[in-house]
Amino acid sequence: MSFPFYYTAAEIGSYRSPVTIFTATGKKRPADMKIKMLRLFEDCIDMSEPESDGWTIIADLVSAFNLEDVPQISNSITWFLRTLKPQSMVAFGPKTLWHGLQHAVRAFIDMEQKGMIVRKRLNSIVGDKFPVSYGISIAYWIALVAISKSLMPMLLIAGSMMHVEGYDYDPESQIDPTVLAKQLPYLYEAWGKALTESIETMDEVLNSEFDATLEETGWSDDLLRDFKAKIDTPEKLKSQSQQGCSVCLDDYSLLGHGLVEPRWVTFLECVGSRHKRDCSCQELLDQYKAIGYLQPSSTHVRNNTNDSDSEDEVFHDAESDPTDSKKSNNPDENSWVVDCERLLREVENGKGKRPFQEVTAHLYRCHARVWLGSYQTGEMLCASCFLQGEGYIDKESKEDWDLSSSMPASFVS
Ligand SMILES: [Zn+2]
Ligand SMILES: [Zn+2]
């Protein structure tokens, strides 16, 4: 159904009141006018097809969500998500999944930036100002963890049902349109409910995920206080440590967690799914050998000193291993697959839980196993630099962002 009068869906979604059209760039826009206008057309907003007007409105509301003059809890996209009536006709396509993910990640980041929920906790633990760049980065990581608990799994289910390339599904199976038509409204309803509830209880959600992360990382109050004391000394501030962020150079060696190597996640995911066609793992394998991932290193040996079972089997040198079947003059097509599995075992063994890596891998799956940024092999990133690389954090505040500009091919329906 199209809109009555002369407004198009896009005009309603991106509606700007006449008052704000003339305000300086960066000024917030009134949300109440937009909501009033949406309410007028509430009964005729059509979301029954992936290309219906309702989705255009959602995309526009999402792309301008942080330009409104109210908190997330009362902005127009949150209002819109709350208004869906049960049993509404809802059908969407892969593009909607992308918009949903973008909105969730940006909404959580925005709320943490404004409320500083995690950063206040860190400050209170150390009894002073927790080192700012680390505090911001840890807060973003916790925001990602919160999204990965209920929202990301819903996207993975929807993407799998729709056979979105890059998601897990049985390629032999066919999409059953009847099942899909029945399930999609439930998924959308569950998504709207989970997202709006998270936004309404963001303090509680982030505090609870922060507590869980403290437990997973083993970060005691003493460790965090000790970290602050040491990192505040000038010589430790920007270290060339192996556990430093490749972009901002923040040193995570004392924390032991908080960095991710996006290329390694790509490798892990591809090995885990037994390699997609034309994958880059062979090339990655050579690069990992070149940068010494298969060499014994003092850091790795130290990490494994308490793990007597794995001590003998890890970190042998693949290049000099006489059983290594991947030689340049013997291109056995399966040998590199075996090497990939061995490399994975050797690097991951004894490292225990890696909660930040795990949550970025979850995001990677939701991106249809694509990174939006480009990363070098061995490049380690803190959460701030990682989210900047993926385009979720802008260096400068922008006007409405274009949701399609970074959309991976899998979501273009
Ligand atoms: Zn960084
Ligand atoms: Zn592969």
Q: Which pLDDT value is given to residue 39?
A: 75
- 269 CA distance to ligand 2 middle (Å): 8
C-alpha–C-alpha distance, residues 348 and 146, integer Å: 24
Q: Which pLDDT value is given to residue 351?
A: 77
Q: Which pLDDT value is given to residue 298?
A: 40
Three-class SS state of 122: helix
Q: Which ligand has the shortest distance to the CA of 282?
A: 2
Reported as a single tens digit per residue, the pLDDT across 146-188 is: 999 989 999 999 999 999 999 999 888 888 888 888 888 888 8
- 336 CA distance to ligand 2 middle (Å): 10
Q: Which pLDDT value is given to residue 401?
A: 63
Asked whether 123 and 135 are in contact (CB, 8 A), the reply is: yes
Tokens of 170: 């049985």
Q: What's the mean pLDDT in 277-303?
A: 69
Of the given ranges (97-111, 266-280, 295-309), which has the lowest mean pLDDT? Answer: 295-309
Nearest to 119 by CA among 95, 145, 139, 149: 139
Using a pLDDT cut of 90, give the percent of the chain over it.
39
- 257 CA distance to ligand 1 middle (Å): 13
Three-class SS state of 227: helix
Of the given ranges (81-85, 299-303, 380-384), which has the lowest mean pLDDT? Answer: 299-303
Between 254 and 15, the more confident residue is 254
| Predicted model pTM | 0.80
Q: What's the mean pLDDT in 52-79?
A: 80
Between 235 and 288, the more confident residue is 288
Asked whether residue 236 carries a pLDDT value surpassing 60, the answer given is: no
Using a pLDDT cut of 70, give the percent of the chain over it.
77
Grade residue 30 by pLDDT with cuts at 50, 70 and 90. Answer: low
Grade residue 4 by pLDDT with cuts at 50, 70 and 90. Answer: very low
Tokens of 344: 């994975």
Average model confidence (pLDDT) across the chain = 79
Tokens of 359: 């949550």
Q: Which ligand has the shortest distance to the CA of 271?
A: 2
Tokens of 29: 């826009």
Q: Which pLDDT value is given to residue 198?
A: 92
Q: What is the DSSP string of 317-375?
A: -GGG-TT---BTTB--TTHHHHHHHHHHHHHHTT----HHHHHHHHHHHHTTS--SS--
Q: Which ligand has the shortest distance to the CA of 243?
A: 1
Reported as a single tens digit per residue, the pLDDT across 132-141 is: 999 999 999 9
Number of H helices, E strands in the chain: 19, 2
Between 353 and 405, the more confident residue is 353
Q: Which pLDDT value is given to residue 58?
A: 81
- 249 CA distance to ligand 1 middle (Å): 6
- 400 CA distance to ligand 1 middle (Å): 26
Asked whether residue 279 carries a pLDDT value surpassing 80, the answer given is: yes
Grade residue 332 by pLDDT with cuts at 50, 70 and 90. Answer: very low
Of the given ranges (64-73, 149-158, 229-238, 308-317), which has the lowest mean pLDDT? Answer: 308-317
Asked whether residue 355 carries a pLDDT value surpassing 90, the answer given is: yes
- 140 CA distance to ligand 2 middle (Å): 29
Grade residue 388 by pLDDT with cuts at 50, 70 and 90. Answer: very high
- 382 CA distance to ligand 1 middle (Å): 4
User: Residue 395 gets which letter from DSSP?
Assistant: S
Greatest mean pLDDT among 43-47, 78-82, 88-92 lies in 78-82
Tokens of 14: 């991106």
Q: Which ligand has the shortest distance to the CA of 250?
A: 1
Q: Could you tell me the maximum CA-CA distance found in the chain, to the nearest angstrom?
A: 77
Q: Which pLDDT value is given to residue 413?
A: 67
Q: Which pLDDT value is given to residue 62?
A: 81
Asked whether residue 266 carries a pLDDT value surpassing 70, the answer given is: yes
Asked whether residue 285 carries a pLDDT value surpassing 50, the answer given is: yes
- 121 CA distance to ligand 1 middle (Å): 21
- 411 CA distance to ligand 2 middle (Å): 22
Q: What's the mean pLDDT in 331-337?
A: 68
Reported as a single tens digit per residue, the pLDDT across 207-223 is: 999 999 999 999 999 99
Of the given ranges (38-52, 111-125, 251-265, 350-364), which has the lowest mean pLDDT? Answer: 38-52
- 263 CA distance to ligand 2 middle (Å): 12
C-alpha–C-alpha distance, residues 197 and 176, integer Å: 31
Helices marked H in 41-128? 53-63, 76-83, 94-115, 117-126
Nearest to 76 by CA among 89, 58, 93: 58
Between 106 and 324, the more confident residue is 106
Q: Which ligand has the shortest distance to the CA of 260?
A: 1
Tell me the HSE value of 146 on the side-chain side, using a 13 A CA sphere: 32
Q: What's the mean pLDDT in 122-145?
A: 96
Q: Which pLDDT value is given to residue 329?
A: 38
Q: Which pLDDT value is given to residue 386?
A: 97
User: Residue 169 gets which letter from DSSP?
Assistant: -
Q: Which pLDDT value is given to residue 309?
A: 37
Asked whether residue 327 carries a pLDDT value surpassing 60, the answer given is: no
